[in-house]
Structure 1
């Protein structure tokens, strides 16, 4: 800034004072010039204003140096002018950002609607290709999530939060990794539920055995598989244990084999016993003919020839336990009628009053008439068969109830039982292909 050629100290001081007064940034500004050295005094509102005064003086012609003695103004603790000014600026910025915020909100709503539409279309498209309801939902959401992230990025960028938008997109994977470690068990059960619903190792109503529990499948949720045991109890098994465990499905093949053993006397005809047992199996209405039943010689015991009897039952229609009870009962009755003995491995008869024995001549009759124990072969004992047992030709009696499968009883119990509140929606189909909503 030029004033006059070879300006004097007074001219420099006068010019600087007028400039400092014109800014209204200083209180009692003072300028003294001595041999080209400028001395500034007074009070400034901020350090930036004091620095500005120093630069102004230094750029003046014929100024050799600047000594700045301008003090900074000390604000009163009761002076809220700065706060009011900051608040006013905030309102101004908010007003200026209002159009961008409204546009961002509209864009966010449109993004949500677009994601819902895309997920709905994806679910309908996958309905005929993916049988698992849960897997369809997961795939549909996986398709819609990128659209939502793009919309969120645009909203944040429109709002002037470009750095935050980049952080959100870049941190999505990190957040997912952290959540995966923190909720590992929950994530494992959720993924297992997807695999179970996709692979379908069982259906609703199947009788299965898994994780040391046996029961009928009631439902599969995102957390657990719900069984109702044969005792009528609800059992919730984590899906991770179900998927990683050994599953025995008794319903997939409706036919199940039952067996029992029976011992006959050595003097009895094995062929007669086999034919008698086979006749019982063929005549029983609950024993299926395919696969065929078998009566095999299993082993030779100390006092009996042991036979193993095998037969198959349709467990979807009949109870294996009840049919087994009926077949054992009818086999015993048939053996008795056919004269086939079923001796114990060891038996003795006690005669409390003694047993008279005829001895050859020259031998004395034993004077000891105390109790004598004489082994007795069960073939010499006539078995009593009651008239009611002889007349009982029914395939099932009152004690056995009926031959119907236990599933009917379990289903009736399940209908009246309270489903655990936290079980959630069912994810797999019923045996007829329907899914509980």
Structure 2
């Protein structure tokens, strides 16, 4: 190598190193709030994770990317809709990245799988999903967990009471449930609340999660001639069960799903089989919800937020879009009020928040089951009637009545 070539290479290396040090110095000087976001971006729960990602994006934009003088940096991690993926992502975010704030995952089983990893450092954890009561038990007394999704019993108290009021007591109910954490955790509450509402449970059938064929269980249910069928399962299984009920022509006049009937992705997958399904919801686009008087830019009227969302994504928002947006916006507001990223101060500010949001009142309260911080536990009942969604309960906000499936 010639001396000239050597000097040229040395010059380039030194320049690169100088550039590296300067960039590192700038990065170090910047104030950053880092938010870990382990979400289901691929796999069977991708519809949850994709909504979560959109909600986070909208929340960051609402704060123009900064809070309390700090740049918001969201560290997205794809947990691939698996327990192992959830644990790996949580471990990476907590042990390597050392984040003090987490949002996600969404699906009950994946959230539960992440609990042991979370316990290692106990960052402030926003959980905008996980309705399973087993998770409520797991986080009992944990002051750093903020749950912003209705617990499983909310999916049963409303429909049971609404159906009893509409059709009277003594009707027969059959239950089909998946064998995972979600279905099993919902089963006791479904039994309890339908029984208390005056229904007679005539069948309880178990199906495997991700089963391609649920017909054997459905044919057993057919023999009991129920008036109501309650399906306790995640959305992917809800697609299978709805299609197979429709094809089998079971003739059951009332179909209730734990959560999946509210999702447009489920409707797109099952087509006309969606007609008549009932569920309880915490959010529905098109409701008349006013802006928060103190923070109208962050928590605008529902119609304005939904219009902005639709313009950005060319689709109407769904539950998890709205839930994650609201949860993240409340976290960012608490960080702003705390003046920075001290998680203890931020937790205190979160508990002190009381804001009007597109999800209703944003206020954290303890639950009878032991959760320290719970928001948005109120639900209402809807039914899909053709291409419309009709609110059927409670009467104060209803715009229609139940229509049994013919």
TM (normalized to structure 2)?
Answer: 0.20
TM (normalized to structure 1)?
Answer: 0.19
* Larger relative contact order (Cα-Cα within 8 Å, sequence gap ≥ 6): 2
